[in-house]
Structure 1
Amino acid sequence: MSTWEVLSVKYAERNSRTRADSFIFDDNHDAPHDMDYFVWVLRQGDRVILVDTGYDEAEAQERDRPILIDPRAALAPLGIQPETVTDVIVTHLHYDHAGGLHMFPNARLHLQSAEMAFATGPCMCHATIQMPFTAAHVCEAVKRLYAGKVVFYDGDAKVAEGVTVHQIGGHSRGLQCVRVKTDAGWLVLASDATHYYENFITRKPFPIVVDLENMLQGFVRLKQLASRPELVIPGHDPLVRQLFPEFTANHIHKLDQGPSGVLPEYPS
């Protein structure tokens, strides 16, 4: 089986957060805790699969969460033009992961059925659950559906040789992670199945949660899917940029050869 190149591409950050924003039941709740925002690129020869899209400047202003670089510009050092992207795996429909669907107009979306049902169903009557979603992003996914450009999955599924998706849930009803065959072994792009290494290593949940049991079971599943724990790539952890080498530009890091650093030891 041929392996894939996997790259993380940072496009935004938030430095005004505390540990209370990242962990339930954390004793050190008022300590600063930064967050990075990424999209991910899978490459094999000429084939490119984008994992998530980030969000654009309009969404940044609407939510007062500035971006450092438009995701399209962030991908440019890799020679990726938005119009040429044919496949986007959407891990879930939260604004920071699906807020740029319109920027990749020719892409086929790969999405869990449960996520579309969740984002368009009665749960969205609750403002707290609705908060991470933006209606325009969900409508873009629906438009793509009516254009015949959505592939739905129910649980575990194969997207391409060496690329599979696995429904985790927890953070959002149809959240999926992406398992990729690399030179370092099976690597798992966890997205928000674990925002930080510390979430899944210490089994400490993230506060935005739809199903707490699914989130906790997901932490176990991530370890089972990856060849080793350090090949689980969290969705928002700045540590990714410390553990993995830069590639092409300082906001892009190469994941498929494994980390060049060592995971910290977290207190149990």
Structure 2
Amino acid sequence: MSYKLYAIRYATNQGRQRYENFIGMKADPHDTPLAMDFFVWLAIGYGRVILIDTGCDEQTCKKRGNDFLRCPSDGLRSLGIEPHQVDTVIVTHLHWDHAGNFDLFPNATFHACPIEIQHAVSPCMCNSFMRAPYDVDHICSFIRLLYAERVRYHRGVTEIAPGLTVHEVGGHSPGLQFAAVETNRGRVAIASDAMHYFDNMLLLRPYPVVHDIPSYFAAIDSVTAVAETENHIVPGHDPSIMRLYPAASPNTQGIVVRLDVMPNIGT
């Protein structure tokens, strides 16, 4: 038995230049754009409906200069899944684009790394630069879930459900974790922001928002070690995902792609 696995695109930023996405890459007048897409991921199997990250709302997305395409919950509905059917949410980290919309999933238990929330409410948040990747309303919503006994914390490697594990790595944020999901094509690593783009791995250049660079590179090593092959790695923001994988159905073109089939490497 295995999971059906999907990527749901909910926002995009088509205006980013390539050099903006990698530390140490200088601006070049001949540089080409490298868009940033924003995703949540859905695993269905073993009688479970598991959402990996929850995206954010339109106001938060637009305030930060991105184009909001649809509520992540509408992406779920395009697959015939209502938000109340989600029983498990994996919070890879608490940055603004991954950790909103918690209230849309009333029946879910939320799984996170404790280091992440400890950082998000630590004294370093007195510094505006340090708190920039976080949204205060999202953090307050997470704490409400905690007080409602709907949060489960994990360190290291933990099996969340049969055939689905989370792996604490840090790097991009202190408590970042990625997910590994067993599918018909093998074990797929949903890297989240352990790598925003394939080129973070291929060029060994971190994304500019990074908490600890040695841990960032160690996280890439962990993702590649867990994934069946490099073709089983799904970066967190790479727009090529929408080209590499087929739409889940004719009416989800540009919205939802299947990750439980091999990518079309030639495209």
CA distance in 1, matches of 2:264, 2:19: 30
Which digits, 9 at most, give the CA deviation of each residue in 1:90-140, with x for residues without a partner? 100011100221222332110011111111112212211210100110111
Q: Is the 8 A contact 2:87 2:107 kept in 1?
A: yes
Q: Is the 8 A contact 1:129 1:210 kept in 2?
A: no
Q: Is the 8 A contact 1:242 1:261 kept in 2?
A: no
Please give the TM-score of this superposition, normalised by the length of structure 2. Answer: 0.94
**For 1:1-268, what aligned pairs fall within 5 Å after superposition?**
2-27=1-26, 30-44=31-45, 46-248=47-249, 249-250=252-253, 251-262=255-266
Note the residue ranges of structure 2 that are not aligned, 5 or more in a row: none
Please give the TM-score of this superposition, normalised by the length of structure 1. Answer: 0.93
Q: Is the 8 A contact 2:48 2:87 kept in 1?
A: no
C-alpha change, 1:61 and 1:243, in structure 2 (3 Å) is closer
Comparing 170-179 with 101-110, greater Cα deviation is found at 101-110
Q: Is the 8 A contact 2:49 2:85 kept in 1?
A: no
Shift in Å at residue 86 of structure 1? Answer: 1.7
Let me know the Cα RMSD of the aligned residues. Answer: 1.5
Shift in Å at residue 27 of structure 1? Answer: 4.5
Which digits, 9 at most, give the CA deviation of each residue in 1:56-83, with x for residues without a partner? 1221243342311111112111111112
Which digits, 9 at most, give the CA deviation of each residue in 1:232-266, with x for residues without a partner? 10000011111111112111110112212248xxx
Q: Is the 8 A contact 1:16 1:34 kept in 2?
A: yes
For the residue of structure 2 that corresponds to 1:246, the secondary structure is: coil
CA distance in 2, matches of 1:84, 1:181: 21
Note the residue ranges of structure 1 that are not aligned, 5 or more in a row: 264-268
Which digits, 9 at most, give the CA deviation of each residue in 1:172-199, with x for residues without a partner? 1000000111111111000000000110
CA distance in 2, matches of 1:107, 1:101: 9
CA distance in 2, matches of 1:147, 1:176: 23
Equivalent AA in structure 1 for residue 11 of structure 2: A
C-alpha change, 1:173 and 1:7, in structure 2 (3 Å) is same
Equivalent AA in structure 2 for residue 254 of structure 1: R
Q: Is the 8 A contact 1:244 1:261 kept in 2?
A: no
Which digits, 9 at most, give the CA deviation of each residue in 1:213-237, with x for residues without a partner? 1001111111101110011100000
CA distance in 1, matches of 2:147, 2:220: 34
For the residue of structure 2 that corresponds to 1:188, the secondary structure is: strand
Q: Tell me the number of residue pairs that the alignment of Structure 1 and Structure 2 aligns.
A: 262
C-alpha change, 1:115 and 1:163, in structure 2 (3 Å) is same
CA distance in 2, matches of 1:201, 1:244: 20
CA distance in 1, matches of 2:112, 2:259: 23
Equivalent AA in structure 2 for residue 16 of structure 1: G
